[in-house]
Amino acid sequence: MLRRLPTAALLLTVLSVLAVPGDSSPAPAGAPALTGEVLERARRVAAAWSDSESQRIWRTGYYPWLYGERWLPKDFTPEGGAFAALLGGRIDMAADFPPFSDTGTVSFPDGTSMTLPLTDPRSAYEDLVKYHDTCTMEPCDTRLTVTAVRPATHRQRTSRGAVTVPVWEFVFAGVDYPYAVTAVESQAPSLDYSVKDEDLPAGVTDVVLASEDEEALEGMIEPENCADARPGEVYGTADVLVLIGRTTGRPRTCPGTGTVQYPRFTFTRPLGDRVVLNLAGRPVLFPELLPED
């Protein structure tokens, strides 16, 4: 059995490990100090990714940005009755379902492709009608009618860039554009979206999304206690960067518009082809879709 190191000794040990890969960022001014627990979690996340099945799928498989991604009709507006009907599951079926006992092809930008089983379009419809949001927009009695369900393709953001993926399209009466949902399942492992704040020390929150600029990463955090964001920290290895969200740790009243904040994460050497993970071990940075995608 391993002996439990005193907290100070454990922190120094983890900090020395952190220094080896060559990527870390200084503690944000005024923020609570990172604990050995958080750094150890980041180390485990990085170690688990390297040479894992997740890494293999990220490099060579179908790893989409969103599982079961959906695309709203382009002419939907938040103020429209059709949008309210969709949120409320007020949808009637007036069409036959196409056959689905077949496979679909995912085409990658490098010219390769992958054949995957198609999902049941009935399941996609059941997902549409099972969720009943409380109507807060008039008219609350608006209903949508599905007049056709058809196979199609859509451009989708994945770990390997913008791919062409099979979708099921649902055509609604009186709506110019179809609603679409992916018709093949992600190969990515099922992971928690993020680590809950209650499972992290005060002043630490998980990152849910990230974007890249020339000098750093910008992360998106949603601290449950609405504490103000501080610049984030990173744990880096040759394969990954693990982002560690930071806040002041001081709770405040959450504004009505939400708790989303966008701290920056700096690191010492170029990102290259390293994967960016959060503390749940989930990738949070995917290649951007180009305008023509």
pLDDT, mean of residues 25-29: 49
pLDDT at 162: 95
pLDDT at 33: 57
pLDDT at 138: 63
Q: Give the whole-angstrom CA distance, residue 17 versus residue 19.
A: 5
The two three-digit tokens of residue 218, written as one number: 């910008």
Q: What is the pLDDT of residues 152-180, one digit of tens each?
A: 999 999 999 999 999 999 999 999 999 99
For the chain, the domains span 20-59+191-277, 64-182
pLDDT, mean of residues 255-261: 78
Q: Does 275 score more than 60 pLDDT?
A: yes
Q: Give the whole-angstrom CA distance, residue 252 versus residue 233.
A: 22
Q: Does 233 score more than 80 pLDDT?
A: yes
pLDDT at 257: 65
Helix (H) or strand (E) segment spanning residue 163: strand 161-172
Q: Does 128 score more than 50 pLDDT?
A: yes
Q: Give the whole-angstrom CA distance, residue 59 versus residue 62.
A: 9
Mean pLDDT of the chain: 85
Residues 104 and 79 sit within 8 Å (Cβ to Cβ): no
Q: Does 218 score more than 60 pLDDT?
A: yes
Q: Does 106 score more than 70 pLDDT?
A: yes
pLDDT at 292: 60
Residue written as tokens 């180009």? 290
Which residues are paired to 230 by β-bridges? 246
Query: In three state form, how does the secondary structure of 185-235 look?
Result: CCCCCCCCCCCCHHHCCCCEECEEEEEECCCCEEEEECCCCCCCEEEEEEE
- Binned at pLDDT 50, 70 and 90, residue 136 comes out as low
pLDDT at 100: 80
